Amino acid sequence: MEPKTFDELNLDGRLKEYLQTMDLKPLSPVEANAIPFLLEKKGVVVVSPTGTGKTFSYVLPIVNDLITEEKDGTIAVVVVPTAVLGYQVQTVLRQFLEGLKLRKRAVFFTSPSQIHTCQKSPSIALVTPTLFKELRKGLDLKNLSRIIFDEGDMMLFDGFMQELTDACNSFPNAQKSFFSASLAEQYLTGVKKMCKADKVTDLSFGKVNGNNIKHILVDRRGFDSAQSLVKLLESDYCKDGQGIIFASSKEAVFEASKALKTAGIDYIFLTGSLDKKDIEKNVKAFQRGEKKILLASDYASRGLDLPAVNFVISYDLPKMNDYYFHRAGRTGRFDRPGTSYVLYSPEDQTKVRNLQRRGAGFTFMAIKKDGVSEVNSKPRSKFEKGNHQEEYITKAINKAKYKYPKGKVKPGYKKKIKTAIAIAKNKHKKKIIRTNLSKKDMTHGV
């Protein structure tokens, strides 16, 4: 029987007492499934939507080890895809260590020299995949018992499968666990084998985001991205909330930044070019509510946990579908309602269709001269209508060719093909007219 509360877990009494001082909800399905296995020093592969408790699932067993086991050196290593996530997990761990008055350290290492010059090994080390191999050169790892891969899917997407495999093979006696918001079928077998996992828990049900996140396409035709961004932020939908704007390139970040400055909208930056102090400073300022808007690159979408975020805005769509879902997952944390807006133009339709296949159930809005309004259905673009028409023409051509197979072309063949195309176009035109008459006002901006 799965535990329902933190008090039902097999944790040390001191840790249970400390948890009671925190405003915690009952265990999430992820925590109820993963924590008991980790406490037994078993490896798990956990796939679950963003904001469902994956970090707590491995942090509590690590902290419990530090309370109940007196061992020297580093006992746990957490591997993360980005510095933003590394600093964030370090903050969570330090909160527990300080709250429990444990004389232990959790350190996020960002360079080989930081590792090589480390005077005393921290109990918990955090690194990105490229630095894992450096740990042997500076830390005492003889008692290493846990290796955690957090946001593992992002590390796989970035091509670090070999680094993760090498990390696992370097410490055969350490328990390995892999936490991810998504995991494609082609990776699952390899990850399970790599970690020698005792259990695979997939609570994603094919989704990277939970049902509490609303996905909205915002049609910006007639306006550029910068104008659309400002109109959306100044609308009733966003003006009173705290939100993150994501852009996929330096140019897009600069463009969005310029638009915000021109409109007098106060914001803060979070990009991969910032140093450690600036990242921590900006994240804390946003967490404290000193700034309502955070402008970030996709770098920041991986694992950033800011519970108060009401909405995210995709200034443009990322190159990879999974990055969109990680963007959206920065809102709606722990079952809170959240909204993911996408500034949409007709050239984005292929990406949008792919996102819909992955579970993004979009509703629709449109940028207007006087602001932003909801609409009943997705706008049809000329490109989409052209494609639909091409299907009719292709069918007509194929039908005509079937009548006159190669080698048996009869007189008037080309004329018959042209006639078939004309008939198909005429039928398509009539169908559009009938549809528009019977379904008034189903589209907009056409």
pLDDT tens column, 254-272: 999 999 999 999 999 887 6
Residue predicted with more confidence, 79 or 344: 79
Least confident of 32-46, 80-94, 200-214, 287-301: 200-214
- Give me the pLDDT at residue 434, please: 57
pLDDT at 395 over 80: no
Both tokens of 391, joined, read 């299907």
- Of the candidates 82, 340, 34, 441, the one whose C-alpha atom is nearest the C-alpha of residue 198 is 34
- Whether residue 427 has pLDDT greater than 80: no
d(C-alpha 42, C-alpha 23), whole Å: 28
The pLDDT score that the predictor gives to residue 68 is 94
The per-residue DSSP string of 6-46 comes to GGGS---HHHHHHHHTS--PSPPHHHHHHHHHHHTT--EEE
- Per-residue pLDDT at 333: 72
Distances 293 to 88, 196, 265, 268, 341 between C-alpha atoms, Å? 19, 42, 8, 6, 14
In the predicted structure, residue 390 carries a pLDDT above the cut 60: no
pLDDT at 38: 94
**pLDDT band at residue 355, thresholds of 50, 70 and 90?**
confident
DSSP 148-189: EETTHHHHHHTT-HHHHHHHHHH-TTSEEEEEES---HHHHH
Cβ–Cβ < 8 Å for 106, 123:
yes
Which of the residue ranges 226-230, 381-385, 415-419, 423-427 would you say has the lowest mean pLDDT? 381-385
Sheet holding 338-344, edge to edge: 268-270, 293-297, 243-247, 311-314, 338-344, 213-219, 363-368, 371-375
More confident residue, 434 or 417: 417
pLDDT per position as a tens digit, 115-164: 999 999 999 999 999 999 999 999 999 999 999 999 898 888 888 999 99
| Average pLDDT value for residue range 201-220 | 78
Lowest mean pLDDT: which of 63-67, 116-120, 211-215, 252-256? 211-215
Does residue 206 carry a pLDDT above 80? no
Look at residue 382 and tell me whether its pLDDT is greater than 70.
no
Model confidence at 352: pLDDT above 80:
yes
Sign of CA dihedral 13, 14, 20, 23: negative
pLDDT at 440: 42
Say if residue 446 is exposed, middle or buried (CB neighbours under 10 Å; 0-12, 13-18, 19+): exposed
Long-range contacts from 159-166, C-beta under 8 angstroms, 24+ separation: 160/81, 160/129, 160/130, 161/190, 163/129, 163/130, 163/132, 163/133, 164/79, 164/129, 164/194, 165/194, 166/132, 166/133
Question: What are the backbone dihedrals phi and psi of residue 154, each rounded to the nearest 5 degrees, phi first?
Answer: -65, -35
Question: Which single residue is written with the structure tokens 């070019």?
Answer: 273
- For the residues 58-68, what does the mean pLDDT come to? 96
Tokens of 282: 């900006």
pLDDT higher than threshold 70 for residue 443: no
Count of residues in the chain: 446
Range in 153-157, 206-210, 251-255, 302-306 with the lowest mean pLDDT: 206-210
Span 359-376, pLDDT tens digits = 788 999 999 988 898 887
Residue 401, pLDDT score: 55
Between 165 and 154, where is the model more confident?
A: 165
pLDDT higher than threshold 60 for residue 233: yes
Q: What single-letter amino acid sits at 30? A: V
Please give the C-alpha separations between residue 261 and each of 73, 286, 329, in angstroms, as whole numbers. 49, 18, 26
Cβ proximity of 302 and 318 under 8 Å: no
Q: How far apart are CA 77 and CA 82, in angstroms?
A: 15
Q: Say what the pLDDT of residue 261 is.
A: 95
Q: What is the mean pLDDT of the chain?
A: 83
Band the pLDDT of 75: cuts 50, 70, 90: very high
Q: Tell which wins on pLDDT, 311 or 208.
A: 311
The reported pLDDT for the residue numbered 407 is 53
Determine the pLDDT at residue 330.
82
Read off the pLDDT band of 209 (50, 70, 90): low
Q: Tell me the pLDDT band of 444, cut-offs 50, 70 and 90.
A: very low
In sequence order, the 6+-apart residues with CB closer than 8 A to the CB of 112 are 131, 134, 137
Which residues have C-beta within 8 Å of that of residue 291, sequence separation ≥ 6? Answer: 266, 267, 268, 285
Q: What is the pLDDT of residue 31?
A: 92
pLDDT of residue 445: 39
Share of the chain above pLDDT 70, in %: 81
